[in-house]
Structure 1
């Protein structure tokens, strides 16, 4: 007769000698204790929340390429015209929304930046300013600046970004150019069609 996994398990437990099965009441109370433990429930709830957050917020990457406090940060997606990017770099666009990340932890900043970009898309904001600071004189210099530099390209709504001009925060802030929302693109298309009709 062939040995099953259960037979092998029982054999191993019997070989230990001092292993005894729990009485039915003990098993029941052990189960209740585990699920009633508030720390256990909180840990499960936090794990579920963290998983949901990771699914909702794509910004990630444990390693972030460090940026020096006095280095500019910049990014331009393919298809963005050079003239548009130059105007962004020179601070010529109206800033329609601002986000200040001072006094944020990295996790707080990640969440705030992601939500900010989503809110900007909802409000049809095309140019925004993110203030992150230069991060001078810190143990990990330019941490938030480095994170912003790493996170913004991960968002498909971001067409380009560049360190700001002095009057807007200089190297401690970044201009962000966002794509048009679907609603705005539709409005522009309708306006263009009205203009071209005879």
Structure 2
């Protein structure tokens, strides 16, 4: 008790005064506001994951949901589909890339884009290699609209870019259904 010998408890009035000061502290208010904003952002943008499994610069990235036909996936992997939209993440911070990727996928689905290309770079020759590539690899499977993705062919950016295959919009699905019903009628 030698070190705390001259410490006296605060009176109730002093405690109340100290509490009032901390809640009016501009830094404390800003921290609470940022925390609330971050929570809202997470609800709007579901891409999360504080820890992202690192991907090496020369490793391909790939993903395929159950139900995607092997032939469709092979054609995606070989770059045989027309790329209808492109997103370049070069010079983006991780947060900027997260936001851009999420919005890009939503816009693509809205515009009935089925195959898109994301250019993220290989991350070669940096102290933290392939950061955006690793993030893209972690984020895309979290989006239900993404059916499959694979590192691009050389002519589209190679290991520094990724093809993504997107789910059909409800409107496109309805059009296909109507078209096939017309064909099957005698």
What TM-score results when the alignment is normalised by the length of structure 2?
0.86
Could you say if the C-alpha distance between residues 16 and 86 of structure 1 is closer, same or farther in structure 2, counting changes exceeding 3 Å? closer
| 1:29 alignment partner in structure 2 | 17
Could you say if the C-alpha distance between residues 152 and 23 of structure 1 is closer, same or farther in structure 2, counting changes exceeding 3 Å? same
Q: Which has the larger radius of gyration?
A: 1
How many Å apart are 1:38 and its aligned residue?
A: 3.8
How many Å apart are 1:36 and its aligned residue?
A: 5.1
How many Å apart are 1:63 and its aligned residue?
A: 1.8
- Aligned counterparts of 2:33 and 2:182: Cα–Cα separation in 1: 54
- Aligned counterparts of 2:118 and 2:4: Cα–Cα separation in 1: 63
What secondary structure, in the 3-state scheme, does the structure 2 residue paired with 1:69 have?
coil
Deviations 1:30-87 (A, max 9, x none): 7776555443332222111100111222211122111110111111111111111111
What secondary structure, in the 3-state scheme, does the structure 2 residue paired with 1:128 have?
strand
* Number of residue equivalences: 186
- The runs of 4+ residues in structure 1 deviating greater than 6 Å are 13-32
How many Å apart are 1:157 and its aligned residue?
A: 0.7
Q: Which segment drifts farther, 42-51 or 167-176?
A: 42-51
RMSD between aligned alpha carbons? 3.0
- Aligned counterparts of 2:12 and 2:61: Cα–Cα separation in 1: 65
- Aligned counterparts of 2:160 and 2:2: Cα–Cα separation in 1: 68
What secondary structure, in the 3-state scheme, does the structure 1 residue paired with 2:3 have?
helix
Could you say if the C-alpha distance between residues 32 and 63 of structure 1 is closer, same or farther in structure 2, counting changes exceeding 3 Å? closer
Could you say if the C-alpha distance between residues 32 and 69 of structure 1 is closer, same or farther in structure 2, counting changes exceeding 3 Å? same
How many Å apart are 1:19 and its aligned residue?
A: 10
How many Å apart are 1:181 and its aligned residue?
A: 0.9
How many Å apart are 1:150 and its aligned residue?
A: 1.1
- Aligned counterparts of 1:17 and 1:68: Cα–Cα separation in 2: 57
Q: Which segment drifts farther, 56-65 or 172-181?
A: 56-65
In structure 1, runs of 5+ residues without a counterpart are 1-12
Could you say if the C-alpha distance between residues 62 and 26 of structure 1 is closer, same or farther in structure 2, counting changes exceeding 3 Å? closer
